[in-house]
Structure 1
């Protein structure tokens, strides 16, 4: 994954990106002098919390942009485009705690029977993506830990995030992927 130095850089970049956007309405330029490893294409999520409550979370599950460009994009999106919340205001900016999660490439879990997911998924290490048709839901690794989910609850909540029935993970037409995340605060 990435170094602690690069992770800390991404947290500061996320903060700067949001503040700059709230002040100017413009996207921050990536600039120069950042750790070169951040040119690698990686999945990135930015989570905003206010007084220990979720305030926004948006990300790219797939490595479609460099980590630095992805962080700028999703930091702004978490602040102003998460449909679950009103846009973050400049007045509340200083009350936000930011988390940047850098993801490994999602890997499909191949099983002969749904019971095998219990052997393949580790709570606290793995995040999940569940896809059925055009419906897709993702939960970061820390969601299971923070909510004290067991593996079955984690699978069910990921299905619900996708907008499909909680037991869809048992359906062979449903694809289940796992990934790991490196969290920086």
Structure 2
């Protein structure tokens, strides 16, 4: 189990979130189905509205990743909901199966509030990202795409990072316009095996 540097959540709280994601997925395979977390078992910080992504990998290959940008729902419920969504509702992948559970890794990423980054050109954005490996949200009149900071591990060069992000949004790799909005964010995340600590 690995933990990135924490913002407001300590390791114990992050571990609770990881357990919530595990239980949400486990509940899908039970006769009763997944049960929502019992809110009175959690501390104040985990009950505050939070935005998160839950990322699933099997044999180190992406199996599902869905989440939220804006905080509207108590964090414990958001993690529960996004774990189920990532496992069974990500249209890019077949739903998770019991046969995959032995090799399933779960990562829960809690997002900071996105902040607008004032840049006048793509080059200004690239210059900023060369020294700041943060999460990025690109928005234009007809699309939006997000990369978590973890994507820097696969795309360490700012040019490649932004190029792939634009492709994800459905734009041409060289697309840029005066209406482009850039927001950045950081995450507090924890990763662990599905069968860890059972």
Task: Report the secondary structure of 1:19's partner residue.
Answer: helix
Moved more, 18-27 or 32-41: 18-27
Are the aligned partners of 2:28 and 2:34 in contact in 1 as well (CA < 8 Å)?
A: yes
The equivalent position to 1:150 in structure 2, one of 146, 157, 164, is 157
Unpaired runs of at least 5, structure 2: 1-7, 192-198
The equivalent position to 1:176 in structure 2, one of 182, 189, 192, is 182
What is the number of equivalent residue pairs in this alignment? 183
Q: Which runs of 4+ in 1 moved over 6 A?
A: none
Match of residue 54 from structure 1: 62
Match of residue 69 from structure 1: 77
What is the distance in 2 between the residues matched to 1:78 and 1:124? 28
Match of residue 45 from structure 1: 53
Unpaired runs of at least 5, structure 1: none
Counterparts in 2 of 1:138 and 1:28: CA distance versus 1, 3 Å: same
| TM-score, normalising length: structure 2 | 0.85
Instruction: Specify which structure has the bigger relative contact order, considering alpha-carbon pairs within 8 angstroms and separated by 6 or more residues.
Output: 2
Shift of 1:174: 1.6
Shift of 1:156: 1.1
| TM-score, normalising length: structure 1 | 0.91
Give the CA RMSD over aligned residues.
Answer: 1.8
